[in-house]
Chain A
Amino acid sequence: MFYIYCPYCGEHREEEEFHPKGQAHLSRPTDPDACSDEEWGDYLYFRDNPRGLHHEIWVHAIGCRKFFNATRDTQSYEILETYRMGDAPRVTHFTDTQKS
């Protein structure tokens, strides 16, 4: 069970309080009607499935109800950072010591 730092509450809380919401930093196309079926299909269904760093959205569902982002190693499950919606991740690649 994960131990997740909510960047809004400023505390580590148990995973039971959170829901995962998938890949982060996806933007809804500004003009959906101008998208081809393929572009819209990519937005709807296609997600990264990396072995390693993954930026993903979580919501503090049984808490402050805020959505935020986490950078997680999908291999070790280590959460390297959490950050507020709209912020950019600081961890974008492994340092040597983090490599699992």
Chain B
Amino acid sequence: MTQPNRLDNGGRIDRSKHLTFEFNGRRYKGFSGDTLASALLANGVDVIGRSFKYSRPRGIVAAGAEEPNAVFQLGATEATQVPNVRATQQELFNGLVSQPTSGWPNLQFDFLGVFGSILGRMLPPGFYYKTFMFPQAAWETYEKYIRKAAGLGRSPRDPDVDTYDHLNQHTDVLIVGAGPAGLSAALSAARSGARVILADEQAEMGGALLDSRETLNGKPASNWVRDALKELSGYDNVLLLPRATVNGYHDHNFLTIHERRTDHLGDRAPANQSRQRLHRVRAKWVILATGAHERPLVYGNNDLPGCMLASAVSTYINRYAVAPGRRLVLMTTNDNAYRAAFDWQDAGREVVAIVDTRAYADGAWQDEANRRGIKLLKGHAVIDAQGKMRVTGAVVAGLNTDGTQLTGKGEVLNCDTLASSGGWSPAVHLSCHTGSRPVWDDDVIGFVPGKTVQKQLTAGAVTGCFSLADCLADGARIGAEAATNAGFNAEPAAAPSVRCRPETRPMALFCVPHYKPNSRAPKQFVDFQTDVTAAGIELATREGFESIEHVKRYTAMGFGTDQGKLGNINGMAVAAKSLNQSIPETGTTIFRPNYTPVTFGAIAGRHCNDLFEPKRYSAMHEWHVEHGALFEEVGQWKRPWYFPKPNESMQQALDRECLATRNSVGILDASTLGKIDIQGKDAREFIGRIYTNAWAKLAVGKCRYGLMCKEDGMVFDDGVTSCLAEDHFLMTTTTGGAAGVLEWLEFYHQTEWPELEVYMNTVTDHWATMTIAGPNARKLLSELTDDIDLDRDNFKFMDWRQGTVAGVPARVFRISFTGELSYEINVQANYGLHVWEKLFEHGAKYDLTPYGTETMHILRAEKGFIIAGQDTDGSVHPYDLGMSWAVKEDKPFSFIGKRGMKREDCVRDNRKQLVGLKTKDPSIVLPEGAQAVDNPNHPKPVPMLGHVTSSYYSANLGRSIAMGVIKNGHKRMGETVHYPLVDGRVVEAEICSTIFLDPKGERQNV
């Protein structure tokens, strides 16, 4: 297959390495060194996508990150799909498979195109808001087809097969961009010994020098690049990162770099190599040498394939040996773009004309154009491109001196390529990320980086300095300044000599006028990716959107994946003109991270699958797995949920576990409960200030339940705390609340009461905790200990003892969350499994039954024990829970929560209070969260009384039980409330005590 647009000579491609690739189902050939875009252009592929809104054919416009149209879906397999890849930045590799992301049903025939005349009226700016919102229900249908037709790419349906790494970096100087300024800066900084990271988004460093025909020190610019890189790579203190885009500039000089390590090698990474890296860099000083993007001019039908940036034409010719057409018309507002015409001519192609919008242009560049015999039309502009699927001609007309009106009649120039240049816009994106507002500069005709709070400098074209000699000198100076600021002795590197050709001043022109008003002229595109036209922006301002931020949101200008790199300045200029104000008065929108799209793989790094979040397992976890436990996630812990036997339903398993515990003995792995060791001579005083109840008299060997409130009086955690010694306590917390409670304790100790001598630390993981509960618990435990006196009167309820269980040291707490005779055995975690297995060895004869969190919930609910965070939600104080017994108001110190729960709102009537609920039909289990009402037939809105917080089927009671909050519930015992459910049923329930079983507590006092 031939490559009709490939030049015979030149370029930085390797013609000995032939590559085959696929685009839109067809195979093409290219060379090593090509980008996907240069290869497509070499093959003469004009139409590479359809536009977002109007479905117009689109071609490649640019040669870099600013490309708005050639945004493809890559990937040969489902697992390697990558959306949103700019063909101009994707290096070609053998076997590359790419698809256009727009153009459904296909590129040549399209749905929106056919219905364009009808839909066109439906697609003004703000069309989402105006057209598709009604009827609301239909939006889902619209959206599906709009998205499909618009082509936003798609994510892979199979898991990514590649790995991605995160790297944390610290550096003295981070330089963004390895063009002339960045390279010069790196030389100055590196020579001082400072640690330097030089990152560039391209495969080859050198930036504009790679496609420049300038000479440095009398030699091709690329020679100087090669020498500079050779020197830099010889320094140990320099890290060169090619194919690495600095995508985000965050607070305190933290920058993220997205490095594509193998995307140029194949569809997936070679074995044992990560595909991409995300460098997380903390830099002492940052130099932004990000360069500038050329601005296209806005004119009629400027989106036809064949319309390109002037600099892109030069890049494709000089770097990739591709001339993307035969006959060129160049329109420019500046001298710099003349290069494109000269390169084109030197490539052996015909330059039809240079259309210079400046009547006054008369200098070295114009002389050369004349010398080359190129037709030069000064004071003219292209007002309209002609053609259907590719440019076939350009309509050229005279332009008045300030570019506001046409003079004379238009003439048609036959051509197939129409390059334009409206000057250069500094790439201020990263500077904007830091919150710095860019500043308009009339001389630059563009925005330059504004004042910054970061330790950051700028060098080169990003500052609006566009001459090569200035960029090189500026870079050298700034590189030395950054290194000096970072504490090194640095001198500016000597800049190479450059042949300078004086330039005539450029003209500030953005949108070329037409004979007709913009609203009636052929479409003049400002933002290609989101299909925003000059007329659309004018309409937005006419409709009253005067702030540029509002114009942006209304028209979607700059909302594409390219963030409007090409179009934003032109759009602001159009808006400014329409509002009759200057561009600085109109202001600018702000760019946000990321500069170019980043893969989720790079963002996630290794933090996926097993490494997504830490998992915590108890010492007995393997036993649970072997015995068929299903697990519940509680915080990071994996807790056994229940232990089904073969062919057992969940409810059957729960019934069995509940009955076995109440009738004989059950065992729960309670290791995950938070345990905080508290020591110091003021530990008792401290605990008394934190908990709502009394602690002054708790003797060594005793345990007590406590409620913890916030200062507003609302319950936030609870648990049992044991007195191990006069100055030593062990506090337990809820599983999920452990870390928060410890931080809470530390907060009060460190910020409010530093005078208290108290020390605390988490010991949750140090201990394995197993709770045996049920009438046979004592018998079972007595078989495993001979040094703890288990006599009911010597080891009472709410006592703890130290001793030996199953041959290992243990603390045994006689506390109960089930209402049964119950012991919590705590042993060093390493002994946990041993003791657990010993318990089962001896427990077989008692039918010792393991139970999980669900049975634990049922058993505690039968007793009316609350779970903080389930039966409380931050709006419930101890009195609401009916737990006034846990509040000791006459403690000398005003404990946390005491004042809070006395506030007017906390002591009023009609608060929601926790009560028990019995459904009239004992077989119905209320859904948790169901809302109670007094009269379900009340006209809407029906006054709501409160919701169900806990609800289960209790096998022990042979009926459902529930707890919930009800307004004034404590005074409504015996009354009936109604729960209307989503399925239309209304369930009646009677308000009752929360204690459903053994109200006198006789079962645990045996």
Contacts from A to B (Cβ < 8 Å): 1-3, 14, 19, 21, 27-28, 31-33, 35, 37, 40-41, 43-44, 57, 59, 61, 65-67, 73, 76-79, 85-86, 100
CB pair A44 B711 closer than 8 Å:
yes
CB pair A67 B751 closer than 8 Å:
yes
CB pair B252 A1 closer than 8 Å:
yes
Identify which of B59-67, B229-237, B899-907 touches chain A.
B899-907
CB pair A19 B711 closer than 8 Å:
no
CB pair B899 A32 closer than 8 Å:
yes
Alpha-carbon separation in the docked complex, A35 to B894 (Å): 12
CB pair B750 A40 closer than 8 Å:
no
CB pair A3 B453 closer than 8 Å:
no
| Nearest chain B residue, comparing its CB with the CB of A65 | B746
How many residues on B have C-beta within 8 angstroms of the other chain's C-beta atoms?
24
Alpha-carbon separation in the docked complex, A20 to B789 (Å): 49
Alpha-carbon separation in the docked complex, A41 to B899 (Å): 10
Alpha-carbon separation in the docked complex, A40 to B896 (Å): 12
Chain B positions 729-781 with a Cβ under 8 Å from a chain A Cβ? 743, 746-747, 750-752, 754
Contacts A2-B251, A67-B751, A86-B754 known; A33 to B746 CB distance under 8 Å?
no
**B871 contacts chain A at the CB level, 8 A cutoff:** no
B747: chain A residues within 8 A (beta carbon)? 21, 59, 67
Contacts A33-B899, A44-B712, A67-B746 known; A3 to B253 CB distance under 8 Å?
yes
Partner of A77, one of B252, B743, B746: B252
CB pair B750 A28 closer than 8 Å:
no
> Shortest beta-carbon distance, A45 to chain B, in Å?
8
A66: chain B residues within 8 A (beta carbon)? 750
CB pair A33 B894 closer than 8 Å:
yes
Alpha-carbon separation in the docked complex, A3 to B254 (Å): 8
| Nearest chain B residue, comparing its CB with the CB of A27 | B752
B903: chain A residues within 8 A (beta carbon)? 37, 40-41
CB pair B251 A61 closer than 8 Å:
no
CB pair B453 A61 closer than 8 Å:
no
**B6 contacts chain A at the CB level, 8 A cutoff:** no
A65: chain B residues within 8 A (beta carbon)? 746
B252: chain A residues within 8 A (beta carbon)? 1-3, 77-79
27 A-B pairs, CB-CB below 8 angstroms?
A: A3-B252, A3-B282, A21-B747, A28-B711, A32-B894, A32-B898, A35-B899, A40-B900, A44-B711, A44-B712, A59-B746, A59-B747, A61-B743, A67-B750, A67-B751, A76-B435, A76-B453, A77-B251, A77-B453, A78-B252, A78-B453, A79-B252, A85-B750, A85-B751, A85-B754, A86-B754, A100-B453
Partner of B900, one of A14, A44, A57: A44
Chain B positions 227-263 with a Cβ under 8 Å from a chain A Cβ? 250-254
Which 9 A/B pairs are nearest by Cβ-Cβ distance? A32-B899, A76-B453, A3-B252, A32-B894, A67-B750, A1-B254, A77-B251, A28-B752, A33-B894
> Shortest beta-carbon distance, B801 to chain A, in Å?
32
| Nearest chain A residue, comparing its CB with the CB of B250 | A1
CB pair A57 B251 closer than 8 Å:
no
B899: chain A residues within 8 A (beta carbon)? 32-33, 35, 40
Alpha-carbon separation in the docked complex, A27 to B751 (Å): 9
Q: Name, among B282, B751, B903, the residue most crowded by chain A CB atoms within 10 Å (CB to CB).
A: B751
Alpha-carbon separation in the docked complex, A76 to B903 (Å): 39
Given A27-B752, A32-B899, A67-B750, 9 more pairs with CB closer than 8 A: A1-B252, A2-B252, A33-B902, A43-B711, A44-B712, A61-B743, A77-B251, A77-B252, A100-B453
Alpha-carbon separation in the docked complex, A59 to B746 (Å): 10
> Shortest beta-carbon distance, B18 to chain A, in Å?
46
| Nearest chain B residue, comparing its CB with the CB of A78 | B453
> Shortest beta-carbon distance, A30 to chain B, in Å?
9
B250: chain A residues within 8 A (beta carbon)? 1
Alpha-carbon separation in the docked complex, A40 to B901 (Å): 11
Alpha-carbon separation in the docked complex, A41 to B711 (Å): 10
A43: chain B residues within 8 A (beta carbon)? 711
B754: chain A residues within 8 A (beta carbon)? 85-86
CB pair B904 A37 closer than 8 Å:
yes
> Shortest beta-carbon distance, B431 to chain A, in Å?
14
Alpha-carbon separation in the docked complex, A27 to B250 (Å): 34
Alpha-carbon separation in the docked complex, A91 to B665 (Å): 64
> Shortest beta-carbon distance, A63 to chain B, in Å?
12
Alpha-carbon separation in the docked complex, A14 to B280 (Å): 11
| Nearest chain B residue, comparing its CB with the CB of A77 | B251
A44: chain B residues within 8 A (beta carbon)? 711-712, 900
A77: chain B residues within 8 A (beta carbon)? 251-252, 435, 453
A33: chain B residues within 8 A (beta carbon)? 894, 898-899, 902
Alpha-carbon separation in the docked complex, A66 to B453 (Å): 29
B750: chain A residues within 8 A (beta carbon)? 66-67, 85
A14: chain B residues within 8 A (beta carbon)? 282
CB pair A31 B251 closer than 8 Å:
no
B711: chain A residues within 8 A (beta carbon)? 28, 43-44
Alpha-carbon separation in the docked complex, A44 to B714 (Å): 12
Alpha-carbon separation in the docked complex, A85 to B253 (Å): 27
Contacts A33-B899, A40-B899, A78-B453 known; A1 to B251 CB distance under 8 Å?
yes
Alpha-carbon separation in the docked complex, A9 to B785 (Å): 46
Alpha-carbon separation in the docked complex, A40 to B906 (Å): 13
| Nearest chain A residue, comparing its CB with the CB of B253 | A3
CB-CB contacts of B870-899 with A at 8 A, as 1s and 0s?
Answer: 000000000000000000000000100011
Alpha-carbon separation in the docked complex, A28 to B898 (Å): 13
> Shortest beta-carbon distance, A88 to chain B, in Å?
15
| Nearest chain B residue, comparing its CB with the CB of A24 | B751
A76: chain B residues within 8 A (beta carbon)? 435, 453
Alpha-carbon separation in the docked complex, A35 to B824 (Å): 42
> Shortest beta-carbon distance, B777 to chain A, in Å?
38
A61: chain B residues within 8 A (beta carbon)? 743
Contacts A3-B252, A28-B752 known; A59 to B453 CB distance under 8 Å?
no
Alpha-carbon separation in the docked complex, A35 to B746 (Å): 25
| Nearest chain B residue, comparing its CB with the CB of A69 | B751
| Nearest chain B residue, comparing its CB with the CB of A40 | B899
CB-CB contacts of B440-478 with A at 8 A, as 1s and 0s?
Answer: 000000000000010000000000000000000000000
